[in-house]
A and B are shown apart, each in its own frame.
Chain A
């Protein structure tokens, strides 16, 4: 479990607190979305979870280990952080070497490295690029290589910073399926995003951040359909939630955010109507 206890953090440039008194809990195997406007402190929070940043006050415990007393390399084994922009981490000559880099750093044996690399490349549909330079790949592919580079050592917690940025709709859909699949295999997945539509369809637990504070927390359909909470984090409700807002005068519930449940409700109503006719 990752415990964030009353954490405040201020960058040395001294423009106020980036996080103030944040307390959250991330359970093993959980699927969470940390949402909020630009500058809300989402990435700052993410960097606290593997010890890249240490709290100015409060503490972060990763499986009861205080991040202030542990190295990032040690925490990274458990907490894998995938950065937003793949260009900030790709440097190897081949995709294979890129994916193997962290495994070497973390001290895995040669045979294990080979197996893990092949397995990860396969799971992300990158096998055919194994010997290609990552710089020759498209933006979406590079993003997948960056994900593979972290996934390779199978961290217990996987944090994805803005995974949907720069992805087209189809890629988002695939990413969502992949995340759900990972999560069902028992990995905790924490996504940092302001993509409400993506979150609405995936339905994780949502933590809303605004100006360095937690302003809302709960299941996606409850949080994302709550006009006040969504506005407090400078987000906009997902389209389905907007639709059901307007349909509420026909007796529909307001807390509908995903296509699947919307379809169910509308189908039921249409059946009722056709029975009456």
Chain B
């Protein structure tokens, strides 16, 4: 299997596929609170067991969402960086366990983002963002319309897979013309990417211009009180996740304040 193929395969670990599982159906706001909790807790503690626990918490979610295999792709993508983190910490003399803990922390963050993006549709995410008053206010100030910012974000997320497909096609096209990406010294290798990046950039620019025209043709951004076809509603499972996450968050904060032992060294 060629290397370029593997690189893009790692994107699979962050790409959304529409499926109907309990995890996919969770409200994006509840999921956002969940990953915020994981994020905060993993940064509060350097204890290996806490961090391993956080990693294990994700397993039932990954299983229920049926994305375990694709999660492995994202981990494989992060393997090199994880290795660097481990050895850098080991060599700076922090000992095996702390080095391991920091590596696990990286994996936790990778996993939680991977899970979030694999199971949350860009549409739902946009709807959720559009409910946040701060986003609407900022958007009105900078772009003149309250929903322009959330739309920009949704579009960016949505275009990632499309761009990945384009990138693969460009790589394939240039390899068909005898381009060997991993040939030559480091300078040569960087130059090898010019024939990939130029077409990719041009395709992306052309696509965004077309998108802008198509949007204007359909009356975007419309009126202030624009409604949406789908409304987000909290279900029992969402309340459960919010309750669980906020409890863990609160308890962690409490432990962090009264048990300085577990505190970060900075």
Binding site for B on A (CB under 8 A): 12-14, 47, 50, 52, 54, 71-73, 76-77, 80-81, 83, 85, 87-91, 101-102, 105-106, 135, 149-150, 153
Minimum CB–CB distance from A40 to chain B (whole Å) comes to 18
The answer on a CB contact under 8 Å between A102 and B9 is no
**Complex CA distance for A167 and B26, rounded to whole angstroms:** 47
Q: Name the residue of chain A whose CB is nearest to the CB of B166.
A: A88
Query: Is B188 part of the binding interface, using a Cβ–Cβ cutoff of 8 Å?
Result: no
Which of B35-43, B100-108, B173-181, B220-228 is near enough to bind chain A? Answer: B173-181
In the A-B complex, the 5 residue pairs with the closest CB atoms: A105-B178, A91-B198, A102-B177, A89-B173, A81-B176
Q: Mark B178-202, 1 if CB is under 8 A from A, else 0.
A: 1110000000000000110011001
Q: Name the residue of chain B whose CB is nearest to the CB of A81.
A: B176
Minimum CB–CB distance from B246 to chain A (whole Å) comes to 35
Query: Is B69 part of the binding interface, using a Cβ–Cβ cutoff of 8 Å?
Result: yes
Q: How many residues of B contact A (CB 8 A)?
A: 28
Q: Which residues of B contact A150 (CB under 8 A)?
A: 176-177
**Complex CA distance for A102 and B175, rounded to whole angstroms:** 9
Query: Is B91 part of the binding interface, using a Cβ–Cβ cutoff of 8 Å?
Result: no
Interchain Cβ contacts within 8 Å, total number: 71
**Complex CA distance for A50 and B208, rounded to whole angstroms:** 32
The answer on a CB contact under 8 Å between A89 and B202 is no
The answer on a CB contact under 8 Å between A54 and B180 is no
Please name 15 further chain A to chain B contacts, defined as beta carbons within 8 Å, in addition to the given A88-B199, A101-B179, A105-B179, sorted by A numbering: A12-B5, A12-B9, A12-B12, A14-B69, A52-B2, A52-B175, A72-B175, A85-B169, A89-B170, A89-B174, A89-B195, A91-B194, A101-B195, A105-B178, A105-B180
**Complex CA distance for A54 and B172, rounded to whole angstroms:** 13
The answer on a CB contact under 8 Å between B198 and A149 is no
Q: Which residues of B contact A72 (CB under 8 A)?
A: 2, 175-176
The answer on a CB contact under 8 Å between A101 and B180 is no
A71-B1 contact given A83-B169, A88-B203, A90-B199, CB 8 Å threshold: no
**Complex CA distance for A102 and B177, rounded to whole angstroms:** 5
Q: Which residues of A contact B235 (CB under 8 A)?
A: none
The answer on a CB contact under 8 Å between B170 and A73 is no
Q: Which residues of A contact B131 (CB under 8 A)?
A: none
Q: Which residues of A contact B199 (CB under 8 A)?
A: 87-91
Minimum CB–CB distance from A59 to chain B (whole Å) comes to 15
The answer on a CB contact under 8 Å between B206 and A87 is yes
Q: Which residues of A contact B17 (CB under 8 A)?
A: 13
A76-B206 contact given A12-B9, A88-B199, CB 8 Å threshold: no
Minimum CB–CB distance from B15 to chain A (whole Å) comes to 8
The answer on a CB contact under 8 Å between B180 and A47 is no
Binding site for A on B (CB under 8 A): 1-2, 5, 9, 12, 15, 17, 69, 73, 166, 169-170, 172-180, 194-195, 198-199, 202-203, 206
Which of B172, B180, B194 has its CB near the most chain A CB atoms (within 10 A)? B172
| CB < 8 Å neighbour of B203 from A52, A87, A102, A149 | A87
Q: Which residues of B contact A13 (CB under 8 A)?
A: 12, 15, 17
Which of A14, A80, A87, A135 has its CB near the most chain B CB atoms (within 10 A)? A87
| CB < 8 Å neighbour of B169 from A73, A76, A88 | A88
The answer on a CB contact under 8 Å between B180 and A83 is no
| CB < 8 Å neighbour of B176 from A12, A50, A54, A87 | A50
A101-B12 contact given A47-B172, A88-B203, A91-B198, CB 8 Å threshold: no
A sample of 16 inter-chain contacts (CB < 8 A) reads: A14-B69, A47-B172, A73-B175, A76-B176, A76-B177, A76-B178, A81-B176, A88-B173, A89-B170, A89-B199, A91-B194, A102-B178, A105-B177, A105-B179, A135-B202, A150-B177
Which of A47, A72, A85, A106 has its CB near the most chain B CB atoms (within 10 A)? A72
| CB < 8 Å neighbour of A54 from B1, B15, B170, B194 | B1
Minimum CB–CB distance from A60 to chain B (whole Å) comes to 15
The answer on a CB contact under 8 Å between A52 and B172 is yes
The answer on a CB contact under 8 Å between A83 and B179 is no
The answer on a CB contact under 8 Å between A101 and B69 is no
Q: Name the residue of chain B whose CB is nearest to the CB of A159.
A: B176
Q: Which residues of A contact B195 (CB under 8 A)?
A: 89, 91, 101
The answer on a CB contact under 8 Å between A80 and B176 is yes
Q: Name the residue of chain A whose CB is nearest to the CB of B161.
A: A13
**Complex CA distance for A47 and B171, rounded to whole angstroms:** 12
The answer on a CB contact under 8 Å between B194 and A73 is no
Q: Which residues of A contact B1 (CB under 8 A)?
A: 54
A52-B198 contact given A72-B2, A83-B169, A89-B170, CB 8 Å threshold: no
**Complex CA distance for A91 and B174, rounded to whole angstroms:** 10
Which of B12, B177, B178 has its CB near the most chain A CB atoms (within 10 A)? B177
Q: Which residues of A contact B203 (CB under 8 A)?
A: 87-88
Q: Which residues of B contact A80 (CB under 8 A)?
A: 176
Minimum CB–CB distance from B214 to chain A (whole Å) comes to 18
